[in-house]
Structure 1
Amino acid sequence: MRHLQSFILGSALSLALAAPALAAQCGNNAGGFGQWKASFAGEAKAAGVGQRGLAALANASYATGTIKADRNQKSFKYSLPKFMQIRGADTIVAQGRKRKARNAGFYQSLEQRYGVPAGVVLAIHGMETGFGGFMGKSAVVSAITTLAYDCRRSAFFVPHAIGALKLVDQGAITPATKGAKHGELGHTQFLPGNALKYGVDADGNGRVDFYNQTDALASTANFLRKKGWKPGQGYQEGQPNFKVIKQWNAATVYQQAIAIMGAKIDG
């Protein structure tokens, strides 16, 4: 019996040692962020994050402004007309038409390669950053790791935090790179995990740069195509490609606005 007990205890200990480490404990204020980073570093390393990414994680700061923004996303609750007014839809359409005409060859090449019309790409570009006019002033790594730590939507943001750290490893961003409050980056505000997966080196310089318009817009078209965009099919509500716009942003009013503006730009 003693031998059996020893065997059981030994087996239990072996299983415990072999079991994967528990996920880093989320929190709702800055107090546990340092402890979470130390724990999350193990998860990040196991996911393939290298030394540069781990150093960026260690130096990340709790982003109070990100948490405030996450708790206060009022614009997505507006009616469609109000949302389009606040977001400057008429200006986006007017500027989008000018941009399409000025660089017709580029947008034609995007549609030929990915099947996504210029109007959709331009509507997203205009909606997200005013065509690159303002790409955010929050540190991407700090913002996205704060959201991965925050209990409200930790599971959603953890893969994007890992993505951001891998982008640092690759040199696509640095620990100082600025983006939106929720860690979105570049001309069309890619979440880091999506940037890592769908980024395209469209200008052929050997690196994907989301702060370069060519790379960013090609990456956006690539994202939509990989998410199921059907070339030649419509993208208004009820048409096959409208559901693909939902993959870019979950808010219905946003999806409707992109579809409307895209059609006006292409019209």
Structure 2
Amino acid sequence: MPRKLTTTFAALLAASVFTNPAIAAQCGNTSAGYNAWKAAFAKEAKRAGVGKRGLAALAGTTYAKRTIAADRNQKSFRYSLAKFMQIRGADTIVAQGRRRIAKNPAFYAALEKKYGVPAAVLVAIHGMETGFGHFMGDSNVVSSISTLAYDCRRTDFFVPHAIAALKLVDRGTLSAKSIGARHGEMGHTQFLPGNALKYGVDGNGDGRVDLNNMADALATTANYLRGKGWKPGKGYQEGQPNFRVIKEWNAATVYQKAIAIMAGRIEG
């Protein structure tokens, strides 16, 4: 989901990485300058602590035309709330969400006990983002996020996420071939790399963070929301304390309202 808010994290990481704007890689709006940008950005990435594997992944990227097309055409966020919920299959998400919680109540109860985030909210996000893991993307993560970092439209926002993606490659969380959504989001709930790096949690106890694993992804989602200020036991509908935290998940007002409404319906 491309409009996720990561402003504070992005600003802090950008400030730590780019102390000399005179030597920053030059952004562009076509594929023509991408290879030159990639070479310059590799130097910035190395200064930011990216290692050999991450740099090799960057070197292997290609300009992601489908990512740029998707970034220019985000129509659904301009729909009315009713239209948005219809198109995104809200009734199906609610019905399937209830069944998923009923099927594995202990898992969701453990998440809520640890992070304070209701199962219904996590399930609503899971359903909205990937249809409960049925479609987690069709694009190379490193190429997608690097292309957005190069593109002049939102360079400052995506550069820290590109650096984070390369660090995740160094850690083994990502590979140069990892597939995700067209804006570089990963896994069951579509985390941008910077958020995956900061909030990633091993939810299934296997010693690694893999956002293509549902337990890891939902634990990471709960950890993110708690980290953004979720208040356990408080409401999350519009006007209530935790609705502000849902806003941190996605910048689109129609999306925020849809998540709150669906979660409320899932809870019954």
TM-score when scaled to structure 1? 0.92
Cα distance in structure 1, aligned partners of 2:22 and 2:164: 20
Alignment match, 1:5: none
1:1-43 CA distance string (max 9 Å, x none): xxxxxxxxxxxxxxxxx96762111000000000001000111
Distance in 2 separating the partners of 1:170 and 1:61: 22
CA distance in 2, matches of 1:21, 1:172: 32
Tell me what 1:103 maps to: 104
By relative contact order (CA 8 Å, sep 6+), the higher-ranking structure is 2
Unaligned runs of 5+ in 1: 1-17
1:39 matched to 2:7? The reply is no
* Partner SS state of residue 166, structure 2: helix
Match of 2:264 in 1: 263
1:245–1:19: structure 2 CA closer, same or farther, 3 Å change rule?
Answer: closer
Residue 81 of structure 1 deviates from its aligned partner by: 0.2
1:1-267 to structure 2, matched below 5 A, reads 22-267=23-268
Following superposition, the deviation at residue 75 of structure 1 comes to: 0.1
* Matched residue type, 2:109: Q
For 1:97, give the aligned amino acid: R
Alpha-carbon distance in structure 1 between the residues aligned to 2:123 and 2:30: 38
Hey, which bits of structure 1, 4+ residues long, moved more than 2 A?
18-21
C-alpha distance after superposition, 1:219-249 (max 9, x if no partner): 0000000000000000010100001011110
**Aligned partner of 2:92: which letter?**
T
Larger Cα-atom Rg: 1
Equivalent AA in structure 2 for residue 236 of structure 1: Q
Q: Counterparts of 2:145 and 2:21 in 1: how far apart (Å)?
A: 24
Q: CA deviation at 1:205?
A: 1.1
CA distance in 1, matches of 2:20, 2:118: 49
Letter in 2 for 1:251: A
- Name the SS for the 2:23 alignment partner: coil
Per-residue Cα deviation, 1:106-127 (whole angstroms, up to 9, x for no partner): 1001100000000100000000
SS at 1:151 equivalent: coil
Post-superposition CA distance 1:81-126 (Å, at most 9, x none) = 0000000000000000000000100100110000000010000000
Amino acid at match of 2:211: F
Q: Where does residue 11 of structure 1 map in the other structure?
A: none
2:5 corresponding residue in structure 1: none
Q: In structure 1, how many angstroms separate the alpha carbons of the residues matched to 2:66 and 2:175?
A: 20
Aligned residues: 250
Q: CA deviation at 1:206?
A: 1.3
Distance 1:87 1:261 in 2: 11
In the alignment, residue 151 of structure 1 is paired with which amino acid?
A: C
C-alpha displacement at 1:203, in angstroms?
1.2
RMSD of aligned alpha carbons: 1.1
Could you say if the C-alpha distance between residues 20 and 154 of structure 1 is closer, same or farther in structure 2, counting changes exceeding 3 Å? closer
Q: Give the gaps of 5 or more residues in structure 2.
A: 1-18
Aligned to 1:9: none
For residues 166-217 of structure 1, give each alpha carbon's deviation from its aligned partner in whole angstroms, at most 9, with x where no partner exists. 1111111111111111010000000010001000011111110000000000
Name the CA distance, whole Å, in 2 between partners of 1:114 and 1:61.
39
SS of the counterpart of 2:265?
A: helix
Distance 1:131 1:247 in 2: 21
